[in-house]
Structure 1
Amino acid sequence: MTSIEKILAGKYPAKAHARKVVAHLRQNGFEGDGVIYLEGQKTRMVEDDDTEQPFRQRRYFFYLSGCLLPDAHLAYHIGTDKLTLFIPPLNPESVIWSGLPVSPSEAKERYDVDEVLFTTDINSTLAHLGSEVGKSGFVFAIEGQIADDISFTSFPDTDVVAVKNAIEECRAIKDAYEVAMIRFANDVTTKAHLAVLKAAKTAVNERELEAAFIGTCIAHGCRELAYHPIVASGTSSATLHYVDNAQPLFDASTNKKKLNLLLDAAGEYKAYCADVTRTFPLSGKFSPQSREIYDIVLEMQNESLALIKEGVSWEDVHVTAHRVAIKGLLKLGILRGSEEELLEKRISSAFFPHGLGHYLGMDTHDTGGHPNYEDKDIMFRYLRVRGKLPAGSVVTVEPGVYFCRFIIEPYLQSPDLSGFINSEVLEKYWEVGGVRIEDNIHVTKDGYENLTTAPKEAAEIELLVNGA
């Protein structure tokens, strides 16, 4: 049994997460007793149909329960450290269609909770807990996630803001179990990326590669995907969140394969996500221009990774990636001027317009990053993480260089900025589209662990596409 399997053989640490959330509430002024009440996602039906929509558990609820059942609830009594899970009772009419549901005893064995009751017991339990917490007690819940039939009348006060904020901050730092889940999702994601590299030799359409990716994820234990895959061939790879995934891999004008394919796709394991991007040549050999840009992006990532450890400023890491991009594009002749002036004028943002990465966990763009999308500085506006990285966080490192006319042409048309870009040299690179390389990084006190094992060295990728 591997170390990951040993960790995941245990229960998801719901009680530890509940205590962690309470500690955060205490640090922010909460002194009394209280109850945290959370609801899982409801069963929802497809409109004008009698089938259920695909289920996605509410992440706040999952963090304190580890439970993926729909229509479930929880109550955590702070004073007694008691976590109660409420699951739907058996409905005899549904058994013929869906089989027997999880029983309370099975749920108690499966989840890290102290007691399992039916959802029909919620209000009576809340009424009892309300009398337990006393006159200064709170019930903590999340606004918009409280069913109409739930009663908090036995509690002196209700707070529908604090627990959401507390969970968001706590989620930013992962425990060993959470890291193991993300690592598992990465391991499956690597298998799926390799399947795409193998399929690329004979595939003729983006959708074939998407199918290879999805099928591999499902076969290896990630039935859900972390997000809709980006399978972008040719110049479509310059579109950051391309979602068509249905274009031919051949250029109709030349009847040859397009230069590259950018695959941004990942599996999800029991609500925890991977987020991995690779760019590879569809022909099995990078063109000279594609290889030049690929090498720049890989260097952007390598130099960024070298800085990562507890307490590093994410803004500083982001600037480092821009500096590497500037040096590389200057060397190719795409940019001209001094490195400092190009950085000061934010010229590199024409080619690297997004943030270097984001926190990763139960959501692909996970909580706790404190972005500032109102920042007037275009270099930092789209950073999804601001400030210093804490040990225990998991962050993506995903630099890219893109040749998107929509983004670059305003620079070319600007009297103040056009002189920094050599349009004649640039002309040779439009067909490259975009190159992005993305890994998932567990921040430690003295450095980092790279949870992503998908190949990214150019020579190895070429061999894999060629079937070696």
Structure 2
Amino acid sequence: MSTTTYAQHLAQLQTQLESALARTGFDALLIASGIEKYAFLDDRPYLFQPNPHFKHWLPLTQHPNSWLLLRPGHQPRVVYYQPDDYWHVPPSAPTGEWVQHVELIVISRAEDAAAHLQVPGRLAIIGEADAALESVVPNNPQDLIHLLHYQRAFKTAYELEQMRAASRRAAPAHLAARDAFLAGGSEAEIHRAYLIAAGHTDRDLPYGNIVALNEHCAVLHYQYQDTQRPAQSRSFLIDAGAQVNGYASDITRTWSAGGAGSAEFDALLAAMESAQLALVDEVRAGVDYRDIHLSTHRRIAAILQDQGLVRMSVEAQLAERVTSIFFPHGIGHLLGLQVHDAGGFMADETGAVSPKPEGHPYLRLTRPLAAGMVVTIEPGLYFIPTLLRQLRASASASSVDWAKVERLSRFGGIRIEDDVVCRAEGPAENLTRDAFASLS
């Protein structure tokens, strides 16, 4: 962590916060890190997920029952929970660059935090209801949260450092997963290879890895990992990231095993790779992200036509929504403290919604791009049985080469995803491709 960029990051957050408090009539902001939650009728905890507003200020991701007090003209006050616990490993003593920039109070009992959060004035308190203390109850004022979420789309230099590091952590893990696939590994074995190379456990991941072989590549959010090796490994899709100081990377790659019968899939994969790079080049300041999504459908239509899958013009495919059968999700989303970062639909700081294009319900970002935004670009082309049945029942069915669709369905589908920083001028910074390039 760079001391300079972290200090600048805090200073920028403080300036933004003071403006937001003044505009919304609050005197101070309290942020709960959150609490550990337990399964219903059980004593087994879920993985702890910190309040993203908390880790926006502090690189602390495994610290339940901690609090942050923010006031104009004051250093951030961190109430740091460190229990005397022999059942579990408690948080270590506070260390790191962040310590010198805050007023630090260490407590050993969660309820002791309340005494350090009592300040005069009107308080905004951001957190889940179950984080409440006797005298400190989250009120989550939406006008203030809208201001904070809108600004969070624009990353500071410190945040970009963490996200570059998260990409560099994920890239070698993706290559380890590819090698495990080519060696004939099961989904579970590939997943384990990824974790080892990333230096992560499952609890460290920013989201659950999607590790899919063959037909499973057609399931957009495939959630299982078969322990049995398939009789034949034809294709492999992995959607997996890494996390550094609370910031995520989100990378997807699709691989072919090659060999007999894969020529058609390999040609489709090469076409998607070219389209994905062209879409990354559309990430420019001032571009409406919705236009990139619509451009993706035009490119998918051209691929379907060029590869002989659909005998229809690009315009006809778009009019009949044929491309939505093969590409049913959005082109991407904001990325940062959360994998699907907040503020993607905001037209302005008031929380007004910028609508999705008609007929495209799954797009997660509808804002114009601006310098400092980090977005994903993740076109896909899939052979999803339930959607293909809809196409067979439509007027466009006669224009589809169903024999080729059937052959390619054995490979499931393709998705390629990069994390991209919009710059003030010129082409975007591709965090993902840079991270892979650094390994060569």
TM-score by length of 1: 0.81
Query: Is 1:38 paired with 2:35?
Result: no
- Identity, in percent, stands at 25
Cα distance in 2 for residues equivalent to 1:303 and 1:423: 28
Cα distance in 1 for residues equivalent to 2:291 and 2:98: 46
What are the within-5 Å matches in structure 2 for residues 298-313 of structure 1?
298-313=273-288
Cα distance in 1 for residues equivalent to 2:267 and 2:96: 54
2:71 maps to which residue? 77
Deviation at 1:440, TM superposition (A): 0.4
1:211 maps to which residue? 192
Deviation at 1:173, TM superposition (A): 1.1
Range with greater deviation from structure 2 (35-44 or 57-66): 57-66
What are the within-5 Å matches in structure 2 for residues 246-257 of structure 1?
246=226, 248-251=228-231, 257=232
Range with greater deviation from structure 2 (171-180 or 197-206): 197-206
1:423 maps to which residue? 402
Contact 2:325 2:387 in 1 (8 A): yes
Amino acid aligned to 2:418: D
Cα distance in 1 for residues equivalent to 2:17 and 2:399: 50
2:179 maps to which residue? 198
Gapped regions of structure 1 (runs ≥ 5): 252-256, 458-463
Cα distance in 2 for residues equivalent to 1:418 and 1:229: 35
Deviation at 1:382, TM superposition (A): 0.8
Cα distance in 2 for residues equivalent to 1:216 and 1:35: 43
1:178 maps to which residue? 159
Amino acid aligned to 1:42: I
Cα distance in 2 for residues equivalent to 1:360 and 1:451: 12
Cα distance in 2 for residues equivalent to 1:8 and 1:208: 41
Amino acid aligned to 1:139: L
What are the within-5 Å matches in structure 2 for residues 10-29 of structure 1?
13-24=9-20, 26=22, 29=23
CA pair 62-214 structure 1, distance change in 2 beyond 3 A = same
1:334 maps to which residue? 309
What are the within-5 Å matches in structure 2 for residues 91-106 of structure 1?
91=84, 94=85, 96-97=86-87, 102=92
Cα distance in 2 for residues equivalent to 1:162 and 1:444: 29
Cα distance in 2 for residues equivalent to 1:170 and 1:359: 12
Deviation at 1:183, TM superposition (A): 1.0
1:410 maps to which residue? 390
Contact 2:182 2:257 in 1 (8 A): yes
Query: Is 1:392 paired with 2:392?
Result: no
1:449 maps to which residue? 429
Deviation at 1:143, TM superposition (A): 6.0
CA pair 419-103 structure 1, distance change in 2 beyond 3 A = same
Cα distance in 2 for residues equivalent to 1:394 and 1:384: 13
1:144 maps to which residue? 128
RMSD: 3.4
Deviation at 1:20, TM superposition (A): 1.9
CA pair 23-344 structure 1, distance change in 2 beyond 3 A = farther
Deviation at 1:368, TM superposition (A): 1.1
Cα distance in 2 for residues equivalent to 1:205 and 1:277: 18
Deviation at 1:209, TM superposition (A): 0.4
Range with greater deviation from structure 2 (11-20 or 232-241): 11-20
Cα distance in 2 for residues equivalent to 1:388 and 1:406: 33
Cα distance in 2 for residues equivalent to 1:102 and 1:199: 35
- Of 202, 205, 225, 1:245 maps to 225
Range with greater deviation from structure 2 (448-457 or 293-302): 448-457
Cα distance in 2 for residues equivalent to 1:352 and 1:99: 45
Amino acid aligned to 2:135: S
Gapped regions of structure 2 (runs ≥ 5): 347-352
What are the within-5 Å matches in structure 2 for residues 354-369 of structure 1?
354-369=329-344
What are the within-5 Å matches in structure 2 for residues 250-265 of structure 1?
250-251=230-231, 257-265=232-240
TM-score by length of 2: 0.86
Structure exhibiting the larger radius of gyration computed from Cα positions: 1
Cα distance in 2 for residues equivalent to 1:267 and 1:178: 15
Q: Deviations over 1:174-210 (max 9, x none)?
A: 1111111111111111010111122223333111100
CA pair 65-322 structure 1, distance change in 2 beyond 3 A = same
- Of 267, 273, 292, 1:292 maps to 267
2:349 maps to which residue? none
